[in-house]
Amino acid sequence: MRKGMFRFFAVLAIILISSLSHADTQLPKENRVPGGIAIINLGEFKHKPDVSFDNNPVWLHQSDNQFTAIVGIPLNQKSGLAHVQVNDQAVSFEVTDKKYKEQRLTVARKHSNPSEKQLKRIRIESAKSRKAFKTFSDSQANGGFIWPAKGPTSSPFGLKRFFNDQPRRPHSGLDIAAPAGDKIVSPTAGKVVLTGNFFFNGNSVFIDHGQGLVTMYCHMQSIDVKEGQVVEQGELIGKIGSTGRVTGPHLHWTVSLNNSRVDPMLFLSDTK
């Protein structure tokens, strides 16, 4: 009898902890534009459905048997209908076009026209970055971020950039201007999956926050974490610097969801 009661209360405790964990999960803001997020109510399922977008698994939030998909929309997504794959069916949602501003910068020639030797290094580093961004773990993600650094926003997400008048990919992150040596902290809990010194991005850190939510921090003066390290919200991960392709000290911060770069502002409160 005692053993049976103990098992009952142990199971009950696990259920309560699980429900509290999901109840405390904060979702990001929704904005169904390129570089935005679609939050789609999928309805009730007896078992967790397989959900993907552009062949990448999607963040699923569960409440009882109700499932919600939190889908990152890539910057190159065309306006109109987009489709999420749910088991063997497609669920459609509308993407609205958005016009982003332009910026023109002058940078050192070695960073705008790399040599063949440098291109070889860039290709190796790009492969590592792509692998990190595709990380998907079962840990429950949380969209309630704090700012990773203190300072004004110097370059917004989605900016169309030209280096030495040559067009480049849109700015897939958010730049925060701050003095060299200032602290950079993790905006939410996660696990460090990649660190290193990169040709374009300088000293960089990638953190997996679960469910395909991955963040990247670039141009750091120093890296204060190691690969495999678990970090809590607000924990120091490095310091502001000017390594890589930069015009001055700042933090370039990227947020990626289901391997789509999305606007970090959708995860933040309105104030720092």
E strands within the chain? 37-44, 51-53, 56-57, 59-63, 66-72, 80-86, 89-95, 102-105, 153-155, 160-163, 166-167, 174-177, 183-185, 190-198, 202-208, 213-223, 230-231, 236-240, 250-257, 260-262
How far CA 163 is from CA of 102, 166, 263, in Å, comes to: 11, 5, 22
Higher confidence at residue 239 or residue 1?
Answer: 239
Average pLDDT in the 142-153 region?
96
Q: What would the 3-class secondary structure string for 176-189 be?
A: EECCCCCEEECCCC
Q: What pLDDT sits at residue 272?
A: 60
In the predicted structure, residue 142 carries a pLDDT above the cut 80: yes
**C-alpha span between 184 and 248 (Å, rounded):** 16
Report which of residues 259 and 247 the model is more confident about: 259
pLDDT above 50: residue 10:
no
Strands 190-198 and 202-208, sheet pairing = antiparallel
Q: How far apart are CA 46 and CA 49, in angstroms?
A: 9
Furthest-apart CA pair in the chain: how many Å? 78
Position 41 pLDDT exceeds 70: yes
Domain parsing of the chain, residue ranges: 2-95, 102-267
Give the tokens for residue 91. Answer: 């669920």
CATH number of 102-267: 2.70.70.10
Q: What is residue 12's predicted lDDT score, i.e. its pLDDT?
A: 40
CATH of 2-95, one of 3.40.190.10, 2.60.120.620, 2.60.40.1590, 3.30.350.10: 2.60.40.1590
Position 271 confidence tier, pLDDT thresholds 50, 70, 90: low
268/247: higher pLDDT:
268
**Do 2-95 and 102-267 agree at the fold level?**
no
**Of 106 and 182, which is predicted with more confidence?**
182
Q: What is the mean pLDDT of residues 140-159?
A: 94
Q: When comparing pLDDT for 102 and 219, which is higher?
A: 219
Mean predicted confidence (pLDDT) in 205-221: 98
pLDDT value at position 11?
37
Question: What pLDDT score does 165 carry?
Answer: 73
Per-residue model confidence (pLDDT) at position 114: 84
pLDDT for residue 89: 96
Report the C-alpha gap between 178 and 250 in whole angstroms. Answer: 5
Mean pLDDT for the stretch of residues 230-244: 98
List the structure tokens of 227: 């690969």
Tokens of 157: 């997400």
Determine the 3-state secondary structure of 154 from DSSP. strand
- Range in 96-105, 147-156, 240-249 the model is least confident about: 96-105
Put simply, whether the predicted model's pTM sits higher than 0.85 gets the answer yes
> Residue 237: pLDDT above 70?
yes
153, two tokens = 């926003």
Residue in the structure block whose two tokens are 């770069």: 261
Query: When comparing pLDDT for 21 and 58, which is higher?
Result: 58
Calpha distance 169→67 (Å, rounded) = 34
pLDDT of 23: 45
pLDDT score for 109: 59
Q: In what side-by-side order are the strands of the sheet with 51-53?
A: 56-57, 51-53, 80-86, 89-95
For residue 29, give the 3-state DSSP assignment: coil
Whether 250 contacts 219, CB under 8 Å: yes
Mean pLDDT, residues 172-191? 97
Model pLDDT, residue 8: 41
